[in-house]
Amino acid sequence: MINKKSLTEQIYNLLKQKILNKDLKLGEKLNTRQIAEENEISLMPVRDALRQLSNEELVENKPRVGFFVKSFSEPEINDILEVRKMYELYCLKNYFSQIDREKIAELKEKISRSNNRLFTDYDNQLHQTIVDAAGNSYLSERYAELINYYKMLFNYLKDKRSEISRQEHLKLIDAILANNCQIAAKTLFKHLNTVDIKENIDLDSSST
C-alpha cells in the first residue's frame, strides 16, 4: 500500500526499483490503470511518475500507445558498454592516487564472501568508487545514469561468468591496494572487455 504523502515520488521509486530489479522486463508495457488500482491511488501520480522515468530514459513514452520499459538494441548496448569503459578507465588512470583505499579494502572482504545478490551491489560500489575518485560531481552523476542502464542489462547476463567476475574484481582491488596502476588498469580493461553481447547477454529474454 502506498502512503498518501508524495504519491508521485513513491510511485516513481517503486517503479524504478522494479525496472532495475527485473520485476518489469525490458520493453514491457506499463499499465497505468493497473498500477493505480494496485496502489489504490488516482491515475495522475502514476502518469507523473512515468513521465519522470521517461525523462530519465528508463521508460519510453510512445504517443497514443502508452508507456514501456526501455528496451535496447544490440548497437545501443555496445555503446553503453563502450562509454562505461571510457569513464572508468579515465578515472582509474588519472585519479588513481585519490581512490578511497579504505573503502576498497572493505569491499574486498565483502566481495570475497558475498552471495550473488550482494555481490552485484558490491560490484557496483567498487566501480562507482573508482569514478568518484575524480571528485567531479557532474561526471559521477552522468556515470550513475549510465549505470542505471547497465543494471537493467545486467539482469540478463548469464550466470556463467559470475565466479570469474568475482575473481577479476578481487584482482583489481589487490592491484589498487598495492598501488600498481598499470596492473589495475590492465585488469579493469580486461574485465570490462569480457562482456560480449552475443555470449553474455540473453537479448531474447528481454523481448516482449
The confidence score (pLDDT) of residue 180 equals 98
**Residues with Cβ within 8 Å of residue 80, at least 6 apart in sequence:** 72, 146, 149, 150, 153
**Residues with Cβ within 8 Å of residue 5, at least 6 apart in sequence:** none
The confidence score (pLDDT) of residue 36 equals 94
The confidence score (pLDDT) of residue 164 equals 83
The confidence score (pLDDT) of residue 11 equals 94
Each residue's pLDDT tens digit in the chain (208 positions)?
Answer: 555 558 999 999 999 999 988 889 889 999 999 999 999 999 999 999 999 999 998 999 999 899 999 988 888 888 988 999 999 999 999 999 999 999 999 999 999 988 777 788 898 899 999 999 999 999 999 998 888 888 887 655 544 457 788 899 999 999 999 999 999 999 999 988 876 544 455 555 444 4
Query: Under CATH, which number does the domain 74-206 receive?
Result: 1.20.120.530
In angstroms, what CA-CA distances link 42 with 13, 68, 101, 125? 17, 19, 48, 37
For 16-160, strand residue ranges (E) read: 29-30, 59-62, 66-69
The confidence score (pLDDT) of residue 208 equals 42
* Topology annotation, domain 7-69: Arc Repressor Mutant, subunit A (1.10.10)
The confidence score (pLDDT) of residue 156 equals 59
On whether the CB atoms of residues 203 and 156 are closer than 8 A, the answer is: yes
The confidence score (pLDDT) of residue 83 equals 93
The confidence score (pLDDT) of residue 159 equals 46
Domain ranges of the chain: 7-69, 74-206
